[in-house]
């Protein structure tokens, strides 16, 4: 099992499987947001969006979870196994990484320098082994290498390394991938995104989604530029949990209000009306603010509308406001249209208009249009993996930066006498695939030669 988890073939197979599943998720329509907590959310989407597109295959695709594929086992299982595989590979490579950090042994065999790909053998006719050793150590130290040395019958062995903690960047990269996967799984299974919530000014709406939260918009304010474009709009809100107030705040665009991991974003706004409905006995059947959040297409005008059902009255009420995109000759100032439908029939049986601040009898019911208001359209999301994903992203950047800009470099040297008694230095760099090691070898060689030449010139001048 360990061999399987650390196999490159397994990792490639998992990545391929994830790519195929992701492609299916791109080709097939996906249930938007997280409708599981909304009444009839998924069923409505299946009937209105999926069935017209996929026909008889709709139920089959839904039973396989292909309309929510990124929250299904088809996607989550290979992603989770990939995370375990990455963790196993990281553990498997720790011995190698630990050796690189420690620098490895200082003493190397003479064949180590002969067989190396990046080697230099530099003879010095008039230099002793101690002088050469000091020169090599000084040159490496000036170039930022950590220098260690060890004597043996073959000569003086030197091991130097730079950026020795850089290989940890690989581990940070692996850890970041695991955190990204973990954050995605948490967000997919325990979170939700882009749940639309229309809350009229002065009204309250339940968030649902198992949060136990409700949001009330105490007031809504919109400011405009002289050209008529929105300058700023904000909602003063109060959050409730199980009927108890838990927080107040102001929601602006890109400035959400958060509570217990749930975020409320300002999305849209529009007109709303305060309506009260009474029966002939004076009993209040409905008293709330209705958001005109939908649009009735009637070219060239677009009129906003909203609806509500009178409890126990068997009546559905549609309210239509004047056009938002220009003057509307069908409405006077302060007017809205009202249409009454029976909830068991598609036929309209009453249509009329209401004037703000007045009461009017329609089909035996008293309708009072109290005042004009606004509604606030909020986007609600909960992302429990958000902090984990940001942490993983940061670790990924740090790891890549460490590996790419601070590569691990090592240089080994042996200072000894050759067969005719001359001092010589054999240098080898590694890892050989890293650019810059060969340049380090050349630079160290030049600095040692310069040091020896300067010392010899000083001695000759002293003798003369």
pLDDT tens digits for range 360-382 = 998 888 999 999 998 999 999 89
* Residue of 312 and 285 predicted with greater confidence: 285
What is the distance, to the nearest Å, from the Cα of residue 159 to the centroid of all Cα atoms in its chain? 43
Q: Under DSSP, is residue 360 helix (H, G, I), strand (E, B) or coil? A: strand
At residue 456 the predicted structure's pLDDT band, cuts being 50, 70 and 90, is low
Q: Are 375 and 293 in contact (CB under 8 A)?
A: yes
Which pLDDT score, from 0 to 100, does residue 248 have? 95
Contact residues for 51 (Cβ-Cβ < 8 A; gap 6+): 58
Q: With contact defined as beta carbons under 8 Å apart, do 156 and 137 qualify?
A: no
Per residue in 87-144, pLDDT tens? 998 888 888 888 888 888 899 887 787 765 555 666 665 667 788 888 889 889 988 8
Q: Note the pLDDT of residue 38.
A: 45
Residue 313: per-residue pLDDT: 66
Distance CA 217, CA 222 (A): 14
Give the per-residue pLDDT at 147. 93
**Cα-based distances in Å from 378 to 188, 316, 319:** 21, 25, 21
C-alpha 410/C-alpha 103 separation (Å) is 8
User: Cα 387 to the chain's mean position, in Å?
Assistant: 9
Percent of the chain with pLDDT over 90: 34
> How would residue 43 be classed by pLDDT, with cut points 50, 70 and 90?
confident
Task: Tell whether the model's pLDDT for residue 403 goes beyond 50.
Answer: yes
DSSP assignment of 424-448? EEEEEEE-TTSTTHHHHHHHHHHHH
SS3 49: helix
Question: What three-state secondary structure class fits 193?
Answer: strand
More confident residue, 349 or 7: 7
Scan for tokens 């249409």, then name that residue.
339
For 69-80, what is each residue's pLDDT tens digit?
988 899 999 999
Tokens 């003369």: give the residue.
464
Which pLDDT band, with edges at 50, 70 and 90, does 246 fall under?
A: very high
CA end-to-end distance (rounded Å), the chain: 77
Spatial distance between the Cα atoms of 120 and 415, rounded to a whole number of angstroms: 12
Q: What is each CA distance from 226 to 8, 62, 72, 139, 230, in whole angstroms?
A: 62, 50, 50, 70, 9
CATH architecture of 97-163+407-463: 2-Layer Sandwich (3.30)
Query: Is 70 exceeded by the pLDDT of residue 271?
Result: yes
Q: Please tell me the predicted confidence (pLDDT) of residue 346.
A: 54
Give the pLDDT score at 355: 92
**What mean pLDDT value characterizes the chain?**
85
Query: How much is the pLDDT for 440?
Result: 82
pLDDT given for residue 416 in this prediction = 83
Half-sphere exposure at residue 287, Cβ-oriented, CA atoms within 13 angstroms: 6
Return the exposure string of 173-204: e unless at least 16 CB atoms fall within 10 Å of the residue's CB, then b.
bbbbbbbbbbbbbbbbeebbeebebbbbbbbb
Dist CA 145 CA 135 (whole Å): 14
Distance CA 380, CA 215 (A): 11
pLDDT of 195 higher than 50:
yes
pLDDT band at 458 (very low <50, low <70, confident <90, very high): low
- Strands annotated E in 126-229: 146-152, 155-162, 192-200, 204-206, 213-224
Cα–Cα distance between 288 and 307 in angstroms, integer? 12
| Higher-scoring residue by pLDDT: 457, 191 | 191
Side-chain half-sphere exposure of 65, counting CA atoms within 13 A: 9
Q: Contact, 131 vs 87, CB < 8 A?
A: no
Which of 202, 156, 193 is CA-nearest to residue 417? 156
Banded pLDDT at 335 (limits 50, 70, 90): very high
Q: What are phi and psi of 141, to 5 degrees?
A: -65, -40
pLDDT (0 to 100) of residue 118: 55
Q: Do the Cβ atoms of 240 and 266 come closer than 8 Å?
A: no
Q: Is 35 a residue whose pLDDT tops 90?
A: no
Q: Is 86 exposed, middle or buried (0-12, 13-18, 19+ CB in 10 A)?
A: buried
How many whole angstroms separate alpha carbon 375 and alpha carbon 290?
8
Q: Cβ–Cβ contacts within 10 Å for residue 82, how many?
A: 20
Q: Assign 39 a pLDDT band (cuts: 50, 70, 90).
A: very low
HSE-CB at 244 with a 13 A cutoff on CA atoms is: 2
pLDDT at 40 over 50: no
Rounded distance between C-alpha atoms, residue 262 and residue 215, angstroms = 12
pLDDT band at 273 (very low <50, low <70, confident <90, very high): very high
The residues, ordered by sequence, that sit 6+ positions from 419 with a Cβ below 8 Å of its Cβ are: none
337 and 319 Cβ atoms separated by less than 8 Å: yes
């Amino acid at each position: 099992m360990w061999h399987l988890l650390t196999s490159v073939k397994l990792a490639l197979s998992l990545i391929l499987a994830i790519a195929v599943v992701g492609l299916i998720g791109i080709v097939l329509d996906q249930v938007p947001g997280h409708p599981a907590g909304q009444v009839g959310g998924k069923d409505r989407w299946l009937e209105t969006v999926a069935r017209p597109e996929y026909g008889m295959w709709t139920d089959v695709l839904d039973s396989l979870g292909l309309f929510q594929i990124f929250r299904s086992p088809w996607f989550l299982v290979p992603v989770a196994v990939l995370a375990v595989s990455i963790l196993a590979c990281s553990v498997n490579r720790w011995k190698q990484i630990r050796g690189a950090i420690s620098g490895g042994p200082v003493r190397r065999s003479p064949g180590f320098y002969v067989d190396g790909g990046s080697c230099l053998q530099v003879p010095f006719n008039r230099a002793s082994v101690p002088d050469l050793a000091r020169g090599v150590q000084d040159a490496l130290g000036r170039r930022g290498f950590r220098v260690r040395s060890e004597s043996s019958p073959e000569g003086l062995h030197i091991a130097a390394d730079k950026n020795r903690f850089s290989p940890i960047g690989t581990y940070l990269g692996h850890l970041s991938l695991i955190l990204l996967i973990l954050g995605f799984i948490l967000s997919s299974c325990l979170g939700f995104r882009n749940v639309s919530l229309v809350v009229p000014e002065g009204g309250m709406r339940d968030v649902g989604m198992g949060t136990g939260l409700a949001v009330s918009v105490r007031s809504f304010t919109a400011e405009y530029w002289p050209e008529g474009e929105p300058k700023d709009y904000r909602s003063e809100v109060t959050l409730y949990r199980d009927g108890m107030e838990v927080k107040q705040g102001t929601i602006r665009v890109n400035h959400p209000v958060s509570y217990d991991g749930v975020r409320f974003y300002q999305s849209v706004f529009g007109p709303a009306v305060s309506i009260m409905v009474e029966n002939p006995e004076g009993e209040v059947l409905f008293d709330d603010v209705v958001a005109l959040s939908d649009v009735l297409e009637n070219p060239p005008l677009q009129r906003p509308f909203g609806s509500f059902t009178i409890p126990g009255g068997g009546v559905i009420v549609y309210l239509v406001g004047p056009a938002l995109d220009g003057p509307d000759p069908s409405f006077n100032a302060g007017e809205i249209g009202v249409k009454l439908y029976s909830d068991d029939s598609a036929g309209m049986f009453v249509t009329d208009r209401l004037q703000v601040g007045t009461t009017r009898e329609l089909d035996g019911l008293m309708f009072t249009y109290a005042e004009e208001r606004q509604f606030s359209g909020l986007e609600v999301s909960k992302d429990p993996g958000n902090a984990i994903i940001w942490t993983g992203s940061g670790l990924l950047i740090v790891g890549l930066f460490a590996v790419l800009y601070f590569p691990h470099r090592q240089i080994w040297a042996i200072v000894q006498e050759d067969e005719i008694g001359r001092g010589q230095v054999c240098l080898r760099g590694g890892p050989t695939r890293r650019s810059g090691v060969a340049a380090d070898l050349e630079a160290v060689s030049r600095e040692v030669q310069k040091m020896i030449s300067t010392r010899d010139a000083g001695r000759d001048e002293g003798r003369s």
